[in-house]
Structure 1
Amino acid sequence: MKKAKIRRTILLLLVSLFLAQIAAPALSVPAYASAPSEQTSVTEDELTDPTKMPPPEETGSEKSAPTDDPPADKAPEESDKANEKSGTRYYSNNPDDFVIENGVLVEYRGSDTHITIPSTVEKIGQHVFSDKTFIEWVVIPPSVIEIDTSAFLRCTGLEGVTFSEGLEIIGNSAFQQCTNFQVASLPLSLAEIGDHAFWDCTSLQALYFKPDTYLYINQRAFENCAINELTLPADTWYIGKNAFKNNTSLTALNLPEGVRNVDDNAFRGCTSLIEVDLPGSLEIVPRGMFAECTSLETVVMRPGIIEIKGYTNDYYPGAFHGCTKLKSVTLPSSSYELGRYAFFNTPSLLSVIIPPSVTIMGERAFDEGQHLLIKGRIGSRAQSFAAENNNRFQGTLPPVDWINVKRLTGNRLQITW
């Protein structure tokens, strides 16, 4: 009896345990729960030396968000380069693209189309940008004093340059054959423009000088350009040979009083030029200065001019040789010499007044023939020249107070002046 009761009790316990196991929720144990915990030991040195401390873990709020910005050592895109500063557009370029030695920029390694020269540069060296046809615009800061020989030679994509006050010298061939260069506004500080500096810049239409610039322009500096109008500073000390030759678009030229030294052929072949007014400060009109200016109609020369140079050879013709439309010439009372062939091949010139101060007239200073009427003082060199060259002559007597009348014997009078 007791055994049966014990068996029944055990059976009930087993059933109860079985039912309890089914009803109880399943317990999940984390994977790390069974792993022993690891502790990082920190020595005393590590506690006192921050460089030996393990780095702190980043929390969610401290992590930096992803960005599309370029790395700090990369140049930004072209669209982000331009910014305005004091009215001048500056561009950001990679400093590593510029090789600078003792203030001289000796090499450019970049490929930017718009460039700002670093402010540590005092001189742009020879050939630094030569033949880099991808360059479109350059900003030159006030620190730059000189642009050396051929610095931008044949940069055919270059449209313009921002020149800053401080620049003193533009070297030989500095911008030669930059055929897309359109506008040049030159600073007051500029003192010298070298040989061929802008030679063959066939798109250069606008050229501006500051009025008080003391300037020396070397030979062929602006030959074969497309300048429309030109006003030179009064303190232009020298204009070299062929300096503005073959600017066939030049229609207006202003040479103010103060311009002194102009060399041969300076404006030769400027075929659109119609009128010129030459200041007395010039003194000497050089060989070929306006030769072959085939649209030139009027020439006025102010008192102070003493000589108009004549022909030497085909490279150096007379000052106004081949001005086929020239109709009017005013010679000043200060002039005394007209060189040989000075006005040769000027078939439209029908009349000219030659003052008595002119005592030297070279061979065929004016064209031969009856079409030309020379007006001058009776007994002057103008009268004898007209006779030598088969020109018509219209004489004038000197002022009355110059005439000395002396009665001779009978009805004869002697008139001298």
Structure 2
Amino acid sequence: MRVKKGMLMLGIGFGIGIMQLPVHASESQAENPVEISDLEIVETTLAASAESDFTWNGTIITGYTGTSTTVVIPSKATEIADGAFRGTNITSLSFEGNDLLTIGRDAFCNCTSLTSVTFPTGLKSIGYESFYRCSTLQQVVIPENVQTIGARAFYGCSNLNNVEIKSSILNDTGWDIFKDCSSLKTVTISGKLSTIPNQMFQGANYITSITIPETVTSIGENAFRECTSLKSIVIPSNVTSIGKDAFYKCTSMTSITFPTKLTSIGYESFYGCSTLQQVVIPENVQTIGA
């Protein structure tokens, strides 16, 4: 069989793109290898779900009517309304662009098939019970610009085993954010927080260890309240105050190390720490609550 001179385009699908391989197939070139310079890579990205798959109020997504379980929020969206995806069978959630600022109350509550969430870097607020009992969710990375996380945001996410907090400006957190996350043993705080906000880890009853960044200067009220599996903790060298009920009923805690700069230990901050064996109060402490 004779092959006419021309160019054959071989399309090879790789999921993340198409490799187009030009083959110069003439009688004189048939046995010559293809040069690397002849390869052309055409990159593609995961397309946003169609805007028609959602119900809208301006730029706010109020509901999901699509059939795909893999959801990519369009860049048009700036907010996901309260309860917008509650109880749906979505398995994967990601975002086109970084314009989304707010995830509302109960937005993904009881999405029990949701295994993967990738938040946009522009996100500022994660609402009350927004991912409540998403029982197959495995990993959460809190982006750099998040300022608030509502109470019980990840309550009952029983397969959640990896949490990283990248935000350096997180300043408002509700109670029981990680309560009953039975696979979550440790949390990484990579952001340069100046304070551990009030209630941030309250009720995180399966966490056994947390490393507090050296940038932290204060630990808020109820910050680690009823972290009943937490065994020991080192308070960073720059911390000057520990708030009311900060380690209330951390019943597994056997040791704690205070920094020399510490000046204030709050009311009932270590109440009910029944296995704590030794406490050394530094020389600069001026007040100890009842």
Instruction: Answer yes or no: same fold by TM over 0.5.
Output: yes
Q: Which residue of 2 aligns with 1:213?
A: 168
167-176 or 223-232, which deviates more: 223-232
User: 1:90 aligns to what SS in structure 2?
Assistant: coil
Matched, 1:289 2:239: no
Q: What is the total number of aligned residue pairs between the two structures? A: 249
Matched, 1:145 2:101: yes
For residue 280 of structure 1, report the CA deviation from its aligned partner: 4.8
Q: Which residue of 1 aligns with 2:289?
A: 339
Q: Which residue of 1 aligns with 2:77?
A: 121
Among 135, 146, 158, the residue aligned to 2:114 = 158
Q: Distance in 1 between matches of 2:263 and 2:45?
A: 49
For residue 292 of structure 1, report the CA deviation from its aligned partner: 2.4
Matched, 1:270 2:231: no
Residue identity (%)? 27
Matched, 1:250 2:250: no
Which letter does structure 1 place at the counterpart of 2:155?
W
Q: Which residue of 2 aligns with 1:229?
A: 186
User: 2:56 aligns to what SS in structure 1?
Assistant: strand
Which letter does structure 1 place at the counterpart of 2:93?
V
Matched, 1:169 2:119: no
User: 1:330 aligns to what SS in structure 2?
Assistant: coil
Q: CA RMSD in A?
A: 2.7
User: 2:210 aligns to what SS in structure 1?
Assistant: strand
Instruction: Kindly provide the CA deviation profile for residues 201-257 of structure 1, in whole angstroms up to 9, marking residues without a partner as x.
Output: 2332211122x622124121333334322233332445223x323323312211123
Q: Give unmatched runs, 5+ long, in structure 2.
A: 1-12, 19-42
TM-score by length of 2: 0.75
User: 2:171 aligns to what SS in structure 1?
Assistant: strand
TM-score by length of 1: 0.54
Matched, 1:188 2:144: yes
Contact (CA 8 Å) 1:83, 1:91: kept in 2 or not?
no
Instruction: Kindly provide the CA deviation profile for residues 347-401 of structure 1, in whole angstroms up to 9, marking residues without a partner as x.
Output: xxxxxxxxxxxxxxxxxxxxxxxxxxxxxxxxxxxxxxxxxxxxxxxxxxxxxxx
Q: Which residue of 2 aligns with 1:10?
A: none
322-331 or 299-308, which deviates more: 322-331
Q: 1:136 to 1:270 in 2, by over 3 A?
A: same
Among 255, 265, 271, the residue aligned to 1:308 = 265
Q: Distance in 2 between matches of 1:296 and 1:250?
A: 11
Which letter does structure 2 place at the counterpart of 1:183?
Q
Q: Which residue of 1 aligns with 2:159?
A: 203
Contact (CA 8 Å) 1:185, 1:208: kept in 2 or not?
yes
Contact (CA 8 Å) 2:178, 2:203: kept in 1 or not?
no
Q: 1:120 to 1:189 in 2, by over 3 A?
A: same
For residue 88 of structure 1, report the CA deviation from its aligned partner: 11
- Relative to its length, the structure with more strand (as a share) is 2
> Which of structures 1 and 2 has the larger relative contact order (alpha carbons within 8 angstroms, sep 6+)?
2
